[in-house]
Amino acid sequence: MNSLSLPPHLNHLAIIMDGNGRWAELRGRDRAFGHIRGARVAKETIETCAKLGLKQLTLYTFSTENWARPKSEVSFLMLLLGRHLRKERANLVRNNIRFSVIGQIDRLPQAVRDEIDKTIQDTKACSGMNLTFALSYGGRQEIAEAARVLAREVAAGVLRPEEITEAAITQRLQTRKMADPDLILRTSGEYRLSNFMLWQAAYSELFISETLWPDFGEKTLEEAFSHFAGCERRFGKTTAQIKEPTRLGLVQ
Ligand code: FPP
């Protein structure tokens, strides 16, 4: 890590790690080989971001749609995930990283859930970077679940329909404790969100890299940071409002 530094206002970085399969196939190897390399790159990325002082890193590690992959690949990914958590737990604590998960965790094998619980437990006093794995995660499913919670509250008479505001929905999402991602980075060149943080991505900056995830490293991270540093985050306002909020009477 030489000149790499976090750009101002980048608090939450979310990464769609894509391209393990293609990376392996390009080398005439099976997909598992790509996932193994992908897990190693995830570890390095986590440690780099923690050292840089990032507040929140979210990694899209397994989507609800990934359950439809061949059974053997799903089993391998679950095995790798469990092994990764078991091996990395102590390093997370050493690096003061607090671990959490979002997604339909009850769909994961019990052995993986046990590793998740232990990792959450062991890192709960850590006060550095928050690391979240999105596992068996889908943005639409998350929003549907929040809608069910709200509907039950209305049916029970504890919430009025008029009280279903954006904030009320945000409060019922699994991400309720974190700020929205400032930057969503996707590897391997595809321009889509693939059901990732659909509600939370409303004003996220997007950076798509052609790099396949197993080749990801500080060079691509630097490109993403420099893209983010050049973004003017207007949140629907005009440039003048952002640059001169006092003169325009927007700030008291
Ligand atoms: C891989 O690209 C993407 C995933 C299945 C999710 C990310 C998983 C990893 C990085 C490996 C495990 C990580 C940890 C932290 C244990 P792909 O298989 O969709 O590649 P393709 O689009 O080239 O087929």
Short-list 43, 103, 29, 113, CA closest to 78: 113
Q: Output Rg (C-alpha) for the chain, integer angstroms.
A: 19
3-state secondary structure of 111: helix
Of all protein residues, the one whose alpha carbon is nearest to atom 12 of ligand 1 is 39
- Tell me, yes or no, whether 69 lies in a domain: yes
* DSSP-H helix ranges across the chain: 20-26, 31-52, 71-94, 110-123, 139-155, 166-171, 218-229, 239-243
In this predicted structure, what is the pLDDT of residue 185? 98
- Tell me, yes or no, whether 110 lies in a domain: yes
- Tell me, yes or no, whether 50 lies in a domain: yes
- Tell me, yes or no, whether 151 lies in a domain: no
Determine the structural domain holding residue 87 and report its residue range: 12-138+181-243
Is the distance from CB of 142 to CB of 102 less than 8 angstroms?
A: yes
- Tell me, yes or no, whether 173 lies in a domain: no
User: Scanning the structure block, which residue is given the tokens 């062991």?
Assistant: 122
Which ligand 1 atom is the nearest neighbour of the CA of 41?
10
Residue 186: CB within 6 Å of ligand 1? no
pLDDT band at 247 (very low <50, low <70, confident <90, very high): low
- Tell me which residues are annotated as active site: 18, 66
Residue 212 structure tokens: 């396949």
Gap between the Cα atoms of 144 and 149, Å rounded:
9
- Tell me, yes or no, whether 57 lies in a domain: yes
The single-letter DSSP state of residue 214 is G
- Tell me, yes or no, whether 78 lies in a domain: yes
Q: Summarize pLDDT for 136-163 with one digit per residue, the tens.
A: 999 999 999 999 999 999 999 999 999 9
In this predicted structure, what is the pLDDT of residue 246? 65
What angle separates helix 71-94 from helix 31-52, to the nearest 10 degrees? 20
pTM, rounded to two decimals: 0.94
Where residue 99 sits, what CATH number does that domain have? 3.40.1180.10
The Å distance, Cα 9 to ligand 1 centre, comes to: 28
What is the total count of domains within the chain?
Answer: 1
- Tell me, yes or no, whether 225 lies in a domain: yes
Average pLDDT in the 206-224 region?
98
To the nearest whole percent, how much of the chain has pLDDT over 70? 96
Residue 21: CB within 6 Å of ligand 1? yes
Angle (CA) 139-211-187 rounded to 5° is 5
Q: What are the Cα distances from residue 209, in Å, to 185, 188, 218? A: 8, 6, 13
What does residue 5 show for φ and ψ, rounded to 5 degrees?
A: -145, 160
In this predicted structure, what is the pLDDT of residue 252? 47
